[in-house]
Amino acid sequence: MTFLKINNLSVDYQMRKETVYAAKNVNIEVNKGEILGLVGESGSGKSTVGNAIINLIDEPGKVSSGSVILGDLNIHENSESIVKYRGNKIGLIFQDPQTSLNPILTVGEQLIETIQTHLKLSKEEAKNKSINLLKEVGIKDAEVRFDNYPHQFSGGMRQRVVISLALCCEPELLIADEPTTALDVSIQSQILDLIKKLTKERNLAVILITHDMGVIAETADRVAVMKSGNLVEIGETKIILTKPQENYTKSLVSSVPPTNKKISRFVIVEKENSDKKENNIKILNRWTKKGIIDQDLVQIKDLSKSFDDNFFTESSKNSVMAVDNVSFDIKEGESFGLVGESGSGKSTIAKMIVNLFKPTSGDIFFDNVCITKIKQKSELMKFRKQIQMIFQDPYSSLNGRLKVKDIIAEPITLHNPSISTLDLNNYIYDLLESVELTQKSAERYPHEFSGGQRQRISIARALATQPRLLVCDEPTSALDVSIQAQILNLLKDLQEQLNLTILFISHDLPVVRQMCDRIGVLKDGKLCEVSNTEDLFLKPDHEYTKELLHLMPKIESIYN
């Protein structure tokens, strides 16, 4: 039976010149005991719909038309009436558990306040209820934890607290807005299991907003696909993911890296790149590279890095071993993947290779020279030129005050001060072309580009010094899947054409499987195993690798 009914819901933002629709005529129905997945890329309006249900749209946006019927109540009768249903009938979970709890109130205070707002309970009863709730969402020692502050919980625990807060007044509808995006896979699967369990036990209607098709495949009963404010398709999860009707859904599904096999390229249904196959990369002519020799380009021996808690005492007691005795080699011309959850030390290793951190002990050899022991700055520059890095966040890794031209020119002129202006400009154009950007982009500023385009600029900048090793630290985790597919295709092409060696760091196992020849698995700073990609996925040796593979949300699970 239909419990929540959204009729023709539109949300618009009144701008000075025009009206922007964040959602337009959306019709969605959700039943009790059912999880409806709401997917779409960033800007598709999926969060807007979630917030619009409880009329929590930030100014200057507003719900301009449509109705929301919950059971037999029209909760959008007027803008005031919704307030009394918030928390009471409808619970909401936000993406980032780090920021969704008030840092200076204890968890208990926040629970009691919420309960007492809606239910007529004494403080003592409210406390008992909240402790039971905390137990229900899987928090151990709930009596003690009740008096803790949010920062004393880990990310996953905090999200459990958030869930308990959303559920504390027994709502019948739960809206979860990217509830696991900020969490590691192992925590993610726990939280998703918890949501599934609560949905059954409490007979909730759940709207799960996410961009992750794997999560949808494993949890949602039905799925609604959104694109630029419009509902594209809605139906049974299995049908939508296996036999999508709309072109957009097809491209979305095909952009998702499969977990069960390795494909050579991502199929991109929409967008240009049909005729780009014969992209004669001019940059090749400039590339003064040697052919691949069958040797190790990078050798890492017993590398350790500890971060000291206390600057003055340097007591070993408080120091954190971020990287603990790690050794591996990267062959020239291969893609080496480093995977692990947050805090496993993968980024720390990357930063030590590009010489942003000094290792506490151990050596890094590049081309058979130990780069950790180089003292002279001029010597170091030679290696800096050969090792370049691409960072995760394309928004903060480009200087917003420089034109794209200047951003790319900087490393060139640094390593080759005598280059003529004409030559420099031509070089920049060639680089832009190689990352599939137009010459015109050189005169623009980073903020005029989308996330994917910015990441292309980052790649062009990294290529400017003609490096042999490219260190990519989560290069696509800030991007939508369709953009991710494009960027990964680009990296693959470049590697092939320029014989690059790539160190690819990611928490996303399917992506790593598509990109890498060999993979190292990190846990708590220790290297668990290194093996060929296909071996790792088909017959993992280490317990932790098995666990990771088991927990990773699989879009293919829908076929079973």
Partner 1 sequence: MLVVAFVSFSLFNFVGDPINNMVGEETSDEERAELRETLGLMDPIHVQFSRFIVNASKGEFGISYQLRRPVSELIVERLPATIELVVISALIALITGTLLGVYTGINRKGFLSDFILAVSLLGVSLPTFVIGILFIYLFAVILGILPSFGRGEVVDLGFWTTGFLTVSGLKAIILPSVTLSLFQMTYIIRLVRAEMMEILQTDYIKFARARGISENSIKYKHALKNGLIPVITIAGINIGTLIAFSIITETVFQWPGMGFLFIQAVQFVDIPIMSAYLVFIAFVFVMINFIVDILYYFIDPRIRVKGDTASG
Q: Which residues bind partner 1 (CB under 8 A)?
A: 54, 56, 83-88, 91-92, 94, 96, 99-106, 110, 113-114, 117-118, 149, 151-152, 162, 165-166, 168-169, 309-310, 318
Bridge partners for 207 per DSSP: 36, 175
Shortest separation between residue 56's beta carbon and partner 1, angstroms: 6
Name the one residue in this structure whose structure tokens are 């961009």. Answer: 211
CB 526 within 8 A of CB 326: yes
Residues in the chain: 560
Q: Which lies closer to partner 1 via its Cβ, residue 317 or residue 375?
A: 317
Pairing outcome for strands 518-523 and 501-506: unpaired
3-state secondary structure of 450: coil
d(CA 172, CA 32): 8
Q: Please, what is the minimum distance in Å from the beta carbon of residue 43 to partner 1?
A: 19
Tell how strand 61-70 and strand 73-74 pair up: antiparallel
Question: DSSP states of 353-371 as a string?
Answer: HTTSS--SEEEEEETTEEG
Least distance in Å: CB of 232 to partner 1? 27
- Return the number of the residue (141 or 270) whose C-beta is nearest partner 1: 141
For residue 33, give Cα distances in angstroms to 50, 197, 202, 207: 18, 10, 8, 11
Q: Which amino acid is at 28?
A: I
The residue (of 316 and 418) whose beta carbon lies closer to partner 1 is 316
DSSP β-ladder status, 19-31 and 173-177: unpaired
C-beta closer to partner 1: residue 168 or 512: 168
CA-based nearest residue to 347, from 381, 383, 389, 308: 389
Minimum distance, C-beta of residue 318 to partner 1, in the bound complex (Å)? 7
Residue type, 222: R
Q: Which is nearer to partner 1, 94 or 544 (CB)?
A: 94
Pick between residue 51 and residue 251 the one whose CB is nearest to partner 1.
51
Q: How far is the CB of 93 from partner 1 (least distance, A)?
A: 8
Alpha-carbon distances of 193 from 190, 485, 546, rounded to whole Å: 5, 29, 19
Contact between 323 and 383 (Cβ < 8 Å): no
Give the shortest CB-341-to-partner 1 separation in angstroms.
Answer: 22
Calpha distance 263→533 (Å, rounded): 13
Q: Which H/E stretch holds residue 299?
A: strand 296-307
* Closer residue to partner 1, CB minimum distance, 158 or 351: 158
Instruction: Give min distance, CB of 261 to partner 1, in A.
Output: 39
Alpha-carbon distance 471 to 241, whole Å? 34
C-beta closer to partner 1: residue 54 or 503: 54
Minimum separation from the CB atom of position 161 to partner 1 (A) = 11
Which of 103, 291 has the CB closer to partner 1? 103
CA-nearest of 508, 416, 419, 430 to 463 is 430
The nearest distance, CB 236 to partner 1, in angstroms, is 29
Task: Look at residues 515, 513, 453 and name the one whose alpha carbon lies nearest to residue 489.
Answer: 515
Query: Which sign does the torsion angle of CA 4, 31, 236, 251 carry?
Result: positive
Q: Which is nearer to partner 1, 40 or 150 (CB)?
A: 150
- The dihedral sign for the CA sequence 360, 364, 369, 371: negative
Residue 129 Cβ, how far from partner 1 at the closest point, in Å?
A: 14
Give the nearer residue to partner 1 in terms of CB position, either 151 or 539.
151
d(CA 443, CA 437): 12
Q: Residue 309 corresponds to which tokens in the numbers above?
A: 């808690």
Sign of the CA dihedral with 457 first, then 461, 466, and 468 last: negative
Q: Smaller CB distance to partner 1: residue 169 or 491? A: 169
> To the nearest whole angstrom, how small is the minimum distance from the Cβ of residue 60 to partner 1?
12
Residue number with CB closer to partner 1 (9 or 407) = 9
What gap in Å lies between CA 158 and CA 5, rounded to an integer?
31
**Helices of type H across 203-345:** 213-219, 237-242, 247-255, 283-286
CB of 206 to partner 1, least distance (A): 15
Minimum CB distance to partner 1 smaller for 147 or for 423: 147
Residue with tokens 């928490």: 507
Alpha-carbon separation of residue 431 from 398, 457, 494 (angstroms): 16, 9, 11
Is residue 176 packed enough to be buried (19+ CB in 10 Å), middle (13-18) or exposed (0-12)? buried
- In the complex, minimum distance from the CB of residue 119 to partner 1, in angstroms, rounded to a whole number: 11
Supply the minimum distance, in Å, between the C-beta of residue 54 and partner 1: 6
